Structure 1
Amino acid sequence: MTSSEHLLGPLPAAAYTTDANGRITYFNDAAAELWGHTPEIGKDEWCGSWRLRTADGDPLAHSDCPMALALREGRAIRGAEAIAERPDGTLVPFLAFPAPLRDGSGKITGAINLLIDISAQKQAEVQTMRLASIVESSDDAIISKDLCGVIESWNASATRLFGYSAEEAIGKHITMLIPADRQGEEDLIIGKVRNGERVDHFDTIRRRKDGREVAISLTVSPVRSPAGKVIGASKIARDITDRKESEHRIRMLMREVNHRVKNQFAVILSMIRETGKHTATIAEFERQIRNRIMALSRSQDLLVDGDWRGADLANLVDNQIRPFAAGHRVQISGEPIMLSTVAVQNLGMAFHELATNSAKHGALSSPGGTVEVVWTTSGRFRLTWKENNGPTVEKASRNGFGKIVLERIAPLALNGVGHLSFEPNGVTWTLDAPVESIRNAEL
């Protein structure tokens, strides 16, 4: 066994030697494994790899490898990086440590080279860079801290969320973000982290640099050392302000819907009660109730289409009269006005009762009859329903449900006064009410 075999053979690192001309004189098993190739002793030069690349991946001639440079320049090279390409195409990054060998007179007689496989290190670097890129580009604030609560890392989203730059935050205690009334949360979180537990989707409040509070969803995970010991915590904070506002709006909407549904029930119960007083048969009662509830439903559709903010008066008139008459028989004029929900419901009932009566006894029962609906909003809200060219009408002998709606229910609900008159050419209904009782105040 040669001295090279005796010294280099057992090494776990790749090692080989060359003569003064660069011809390989020895290599150990670890070198052959790194190269994935077995060079010819005394023939192959400089490096035993099948092919070589630079650290950037460009082709590298064997004569330009670190061993060749060490022999040409007569000096040791510490940690030159290159890549060995195996015959199967596998790339193995390594660090080379070539050093010339000299005799007693100082003449170069050969060289020795140690090759350190850094594949795992490179993979770790890639993973670290990828993770760093993910952290930095994340829309969530990602912060790490030690077990004492001192901030160690801070991404760009943390700056956007909390207002502090990384320079301002790193090295400071995490409690700078916690409102005074929530300081106890940090002890609970750190306690769980020390036990290796994860805190998942914890909704809380944190304080920005400008003093404003922000609603966040917080996830905290233990950070461990290579040995598995918990050494800190990683926090992911997501701004949930929009979600909280949406939840609040939904709760408000549900309360409002509940209130309005109760109002609708009250209106329907009133319809049933009053209709029952003025119908002689069950069939007539069923027909009138069905039609009135359908009219109420049409008004409800307009409110839904308007996100419960109200409905346009012209649309409401058209919506309620359309089932009874062609468009050319109805003239609508007045400046645009968005009605409140109360006005939609009550005027919708009024228009339904007027249209129903007109189709049975008034202008819409006659081929040449027309209906004109006009309103103004200057000072007060004044609306007129006027029928023309219809049959001669007589004043109603009794107070039916329609008359009650037009003279009592709708006007009173709108803080106004309603008047129903029976002219020779048709019915006229007027409503006078404060504009603020009609218009949607939110628009």
Structure 2
Amino acid sequence: MHALPVAVYTTDKQGRITFFNEAAADLWGHRPIIGQDQWCGSWKLRHLDGRAMAHDECPMAIALLEERDVLWGQAIAERADGQLIPFSAHPVLLRDEAGEVVGAINTLLDLRTQTMADEARTRLAAIVESSMDAIVSKDINGIITSWNDAAEHLFGYMPAEAIGRPVTILIPPGHLDEEVSIITRIRAGERVPSYETVRMRKDGTLIPVSLTVSPIRDGIGRIIGASKIARDISASKESERRIRLLMREVNHRVKNQYSVIISMIRETSKLTSTPEAFLAQVRERITALSESHDLLVNADWRGATVGELVRAQLKAFAVQSRVSMTGPAVVLQPNAVQYLGIAFHELATNSAKYGALSRHGGHVEIEWDVTFATDGAGTFRLIWRELDGPVVDAIARRGFGTVVLKRVAPEALSGNGRLEFDKQGIIWTLEAPLRSVEMSLSDIVAEEG
């Protein structure tokens, strides 16, 4: 008994300790006096609820005083250093040939390992239940054995509906071969690393998940099942879809910008006589284009109003007080912002150099409205009218501005443009289908989605 790893000690009929092994002394943290200390070798004893326990209340004392074996009696040994050791006692009476009690032998099992295991299991259970990921365990035959709250939320089955049923209730028909592969790998003791797949809810809808599968072993290391952690990746998949959509849209819009710039460069090169003039005009027009682009970016590419666009293009000329604007709230779609922005830049540049904004007292009126036909189709109409300016016809003869106002901007909006000259200045009229100009509700929803 000295060599046993389990605490063992003996007493006489009066409970005086007659023997203890080293495992018992280690558990007690105390070495009792043989033939003197009684009932138990502990320095002090406590009940499981923490109350002090007299030595004559311990399981060994009860066994001797009541002359009966006591199985699984429990108490706490308090060491001199204050450490508390929970233990389970198994006192068995010793009798002589006549059956008379002559003493007892007690075996003490240190419950710290069991307590720590219980605490670990409790913590693990709490983690599993509070996890945001669906955690499901199954036996080696694929039958569901546990089901946490997140699994109920993700798959739609109550625990009572899922436990005891095959895990294939969660697997779409086209993915059943995955389960065969998983079971084969689990039986071989392999862990299945995270991979993306599809699983099926109770209502039949499919959900993308990230799945991790690990083997479950019993106390002697045998594989008895598997645990599955399923993470809903619907949000990340949607984000990926939106990013791809956004990249395609950005690519489309950048190409549109390239087309505008190429057209601008081509037409400007035809109508400038020196490299310096060409460079200056191209720089001005690209700057104007960037002003329109800034409006779109600041509004998350949801368009800009007519007024915002006019102000953005006129701010470089510091003539806002000489420009009046009237018209309903119309949010221009990105394509209209870009092409109308170029048109407003050309009109403002020409007016500042040769037109109404070039002389004191001259001003510009910008009006727009929307009309609807009987079939519900809308028409957008805008007029740029210069007043109290000189008679100008230079813009009509040649120049990139003429191309933009008569052809480029109107055609980009599926409409038509008319450039007129009045004694007080230029009048430019644009008419285009409203669907080609205005940012519709469906467009806004698509942008946000």
TM-score (norm 1): 0.90
Q: Structure 1's 402 and 148: CA in aligned 2 closer, same or farther, altered over 3 A?
A: same
Tell me if structure 2 keeps the 8 A contact 1:390–1:426.
Answer: yes
Query: 1:436 Cα deviation (Å)?
Result: 1.2
Partner Cα distance (1:368, 1:46) in 2 = 116
Matches of 1:113 and 1:130 in 2, distance apart? 33
1:203 alignment partner in structure 2: 196
CA-CA distance at 1:152 after TM superposition: 1.6
**What CA deviation, in whole Å up to 9, does each residue of 1:352-376 have, x standing for no partner?**
1112222222233334443333322
Distance 1:172 1:337 in 2: 59
Letter in 1 for 2:382: L
Unaligned runs of 5+ in 2: 373-378, 445-449
| Percent sequence identity over aligned pairs | 56
> Contact 1:20–1:110 (CA<8 Å) still a contact in 2?
yes
Pairs within 5 Å for 1:82-101: 82-99=75-92
* Counterpart residue type for residue 411 of structure 2: L
The residue aligned with 1:438 is: 437
1:403 aligns with 2:402: yes
Shift of the alpha carbon at 1:141? 0.7
Between the aligned partners of 1:199 and 1:424, the Cα distance in structure 2 is: 83
Q: Deviations over 1:85-142 (max 9, x none)?
A: 3334433221112345567888765443221112222211111111111111111111
Separation in 1, partners of 2:384, 2:149: 64
- Describe the SS at the equivalent of 1:182: helix
CA contact (8 A) 1:325 1:364 kept: no
- Aligned partner (choices 351, 360, 366) of residue 358 of structure 1: 351
- Whether the aligned pair in 2 keeps the contact of 1:338 and 1:439 (CA below 8 Å) is yes
Quick one: structure 1 residues 98 and 276, their matched pair in 2 at CA, closer, same or farther if it must change by over 3 Å? same
Shift of 1:21: 4.9
**Secondary structure of 1:266's match?**
helix
- Relative to 1, partners in 2 of residues 1:45 and 1:377: Cα closer, same or farther, differing over 3 Å? farther
Alpha-carbon offset, residue 326 of structure 1: 4.8
With structure 2 as the length reference, what TM-score do the two structures score? 0.89
Which residue does 1:79 correspond to in 2? 72
Whether 1:159 aligns to 2:152 is yes
Q: Distance in 1 between matches of 2:358 and 2:196?
A: 64
Other structure's SS at 1:372 match: strand
Partner of 1:292: 285
- CA distance in 2 between counterparts of 1:125 and 1:384 reads 82
Distance, in Å, in 2 between the alignment partners of 1:201 and 1:316 is: 51
Distance 2:326 2:63 in 1: 98
Which of 224, 233, 243 is matched with 2:236 structurally? Answer: 243
2:251 to 258, 277, 301: 258
Q: Whole-Å Cα distance in 1 between the matches of residues 58 and 421 of structure 2?
A: 111
Does the alignment pair 1:427 with 2:447?
A: no
* Cα pair distance change 1:342/1:63, threshold 3 Å: same
> Contact (CA 8 Å) 2:45, 2:76: kept in 1 or not?
yes
Name the stretch that deviates more: 185-194 or 220-229: 220-229
Secondary structure of the corresponding residue to residue 347 of structure 2: helix
Q: Which residue in 2 is equivalent to 1:4? A: none
Q: Distance in 2 between matches of 1:313 and 1:63?
A: 96
Task: Give 1:210 deviation, angstroms.
Answer: 0.4
Shift of 1:74: 4.3
> Per the alignment, in what secondary structure is the counterpart of residue 289 of structure 1?
helix
Q: Is the 8 A contact 1:334 1:375 kept in 2?
A: yes
Deviation of the 1:195 alpha carbon: 2.7
1:169-248 counterparts in 2 under 5 A? 169-248=162-241
Cα shift readout 1:228-262 (whole Å, capped 9, x = no counterpart)? 33332211111111111111121122222222222
TM-aligned CA distance change 1:104 to 1:247, over 3 Å: same
Q: Which runs of 5+ in 1 are unaligned?
A: 1-7
- Report the AA paired with residue 363 of structure 1: A
1:416 aligned partner: 415
Match of 2:375 in 1: none
- Specify the alignment match of 1:5 in structure 2: none
| Residue identity in the other structure for 1:286 | L
Q: Which residue of the other structure, out of 24, 45, 50, is the alignment partner of 2:43?
A: 50
Residue 142, structure 1, aligned to residue 135, structure 2 = yes
Aligned to 1:276: 269
Match of 2:60 among 58, 67, 71: 67
Distance 1:59 1:411, change over 3 A: farther
Displacement of 1:145 after TM fit? 1.5
For the residue of structure 2 that corresponds to 1:228, the secondary structure is coil
CA RMSD in angstroms, aligned pairs only: 2.4
Distance in 2 of aligned mates of 1:63 and 1:403: 113
User: C-alpha displacement at 1:18, in angstroms?
Assistant: 3.7
Query: Tell me, what secondary structure is at the counterpart of 2:185?
Result: helix
Separation in 1 of the partners of 2:369 and 2:320? 22
Name the structure 2 match of 1:388: 387
**Is the 2:319–2:357 Cα contact (8 Å) retained in structure 1?**
no
* 1:60 positional shift: 3.8
Whole-angstrom distance in 2 between the partners of 1:104 and 1:197: 59
